[in-house]
């Protein structure tokens, strides 16, 4: 066999081997993105070992969800997360499967929202799910429908349409457990309203059977707008939720209003409220004056002490009312009838003319 023939055979052999390697890798890629395949293989079986979830957006919005000994916490607030929401998100991530392949051209990523989140214009959210052995990462882009959306694993170029559709927030406050307190109106005996810049008054009732609350210190000549005008104050703490929470305290010069709730079973709640620009903020101090509510007071104190909560404006306004809010408007003085005045003036002129 001539050297030339050996060289030709050797070259052909190398080409066959190279083709086999390419074919093998292509088959692996095709298999990895076949419809029904998991987008993040291995995560579903590792969900119970997840210790942290990091969410970042191009505008630098970010949230960190950390697994504590018993539940989930929002790292940026050091406050309990909505654990049900976190668990659903993880289950959906673990079950996320390929519907079909989409673009693998970076220039087309923005149309699907799966571009790298290093750009301020990026609309997607990058997710990193941390386990002891691996970090699973994904860019979650725009929704395609109620059942599916666009995603991309950051280390690959292939964008995917995947199901289920994932709902993800980069703002830390969206992951908080927004439950605050739940004191129903039937428990409330009285509320001491102490507005920062208006006279104090009390709404109260003697017995639970009394449906409407009476109001003290009503100015002379004024009356309630209706018999139930004060009832919303008593019911304001039922099923109360908040928008955001901080560890900051009110500045010394803040104008603070107080609404002090007393229940028939001996629970007292001092709600202190202030406004900071467009933010409506409250703190809550809880005491018990009866044995049956001592445990409840202790539990609420542990939960609420040291925190300032931001409420929706409508909820804040349902707690803090000035007296004028409850009363009928003052009617302006009636204007004299000009025609009658003219007539009176004419009569006076006639009398003057008839005078000797």
Question: What pLDDT sits at residue 254?
Answer: 84
More confident residue, 349 or 62: 62
Residue 74 is inside which H or E element, if any? strand 72-74
Question: What pLDDT sits at residue 31?
Answer: 44
Q: Which two tokens stand for residue 263?
A: 């229940």
Q: Where are the beta strands (DSSP E) in 144-227?
A: 149-152, 159-163, 179-181, 188-194, 201-204, 214-215
Q: What is the DSSP string of 45-60?
A: GGGGG--EEEEEETTS
Dist. CA 171–CA 178, nearest whole Å: 14
Cis preceding-peptide flag for 204 (omega within 30 of 0) = no
More confident residue, 167 or 98: 98
The residues pairing with 92 across neighbouring beta strands, listed in sequence order, are none
Mean pLDDT of 242-254: 86
- Phi first, then psi: give them for residue 348, nearest 5 degrees: -65, -40
Q: Tokens 């076949």 appear where?
A: 34
Residues 60-95 pLDDT 10s: 999 999 999 889 999 999 999 999 999 999 999 999
Mean pLDDT of 267-288: 96
Q: Which two tokens stand for residue 171?
A: 């703002």
**Residue 116 DSSP SS3:** coil
Q: Which two tokens stand for residue 34?
A: 């076949």
Range in 24-38, 142-156, 205-219 the model is least confident about: 24-38
pTM of the model: 0.80
Question: What pLDDT sits at residue 349?
Answer: 47
Question: What pLDDT sits at residue 248?
Answer: 75
More confident residue, 344 or 274: 274
Question: What pLDDT sits at residue 268?
Answer: 98
């Amino acid at each position: 066999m001539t050297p030339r023939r050996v060289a030709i055979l050797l070259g052909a052999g190398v080409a066959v081997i190279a083709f086999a390697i390419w074919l093998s890798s292509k088959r692996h890629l095709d298999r990895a993105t076949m419809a029904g395949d998991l987008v993040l293989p291995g995560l579903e079986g590792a969900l119970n070992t997840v210790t942290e979830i990091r969410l970042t957006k191009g505008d630098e919005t970010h949230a960190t969800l950390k697994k504590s000994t018993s539940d989930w916490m929002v790292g940026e607030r050091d406050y309990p997360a909505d654990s049900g929401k976190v668990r659903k998100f993880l289950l959906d991530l673990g079950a996320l499967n390929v519907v079909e392949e989409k673009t693998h051209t970076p220039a087309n990523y923005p149309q699907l929202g799966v571009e790298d989140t290093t750009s301020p214009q990026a609309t997607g959210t990058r997710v990193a799910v941390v386990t002891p052995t691996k970090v699973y990462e994904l860019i979650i882009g725009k929704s395609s429908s109620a059942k599916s959306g666009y995603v991309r694993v950051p280390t690959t170029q292939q964008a995917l349409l995947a199901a289920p559709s994932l709902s993800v927030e980069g703002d830390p406050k969206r992951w908080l457990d927004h439950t605050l307190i739940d004191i129903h109106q039937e428990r409330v005996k009285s509320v001491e309203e102490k507005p920062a810049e208006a006279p104090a008054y009390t709404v109260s009732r003697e017995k639970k059977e009394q449906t409407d609350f009476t109001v003290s210190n009503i100015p002379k000549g004024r009356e309630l707008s209706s018999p139930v005008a004060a009832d919303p104050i008593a019911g304001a703490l039922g099923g109360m939720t908040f928008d955001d929470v901080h560890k900051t305290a009110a500045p010394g010069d803040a104008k603070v209003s107080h609404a002090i709730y007393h229940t028939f079973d001996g629970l007292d709640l001092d709600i202190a409220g202030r406004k900071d620009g467009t933010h409506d903020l409250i703190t809550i101090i809880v005491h018990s004056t009866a044995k049956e509510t001592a445990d409840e007071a202790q539990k609420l104190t542990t939960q609420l002490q040291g925190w300032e909560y931001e409420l929706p404006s409508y909820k804040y306004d349902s707690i803090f009312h000035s007296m004028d809010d409850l009363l009928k408007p003052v009617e302006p003085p009636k204007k004299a009838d000009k025609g009658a005045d003219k007539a009176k003036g004419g009569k006076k002129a006639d009398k003057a003319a008839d005078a000797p």
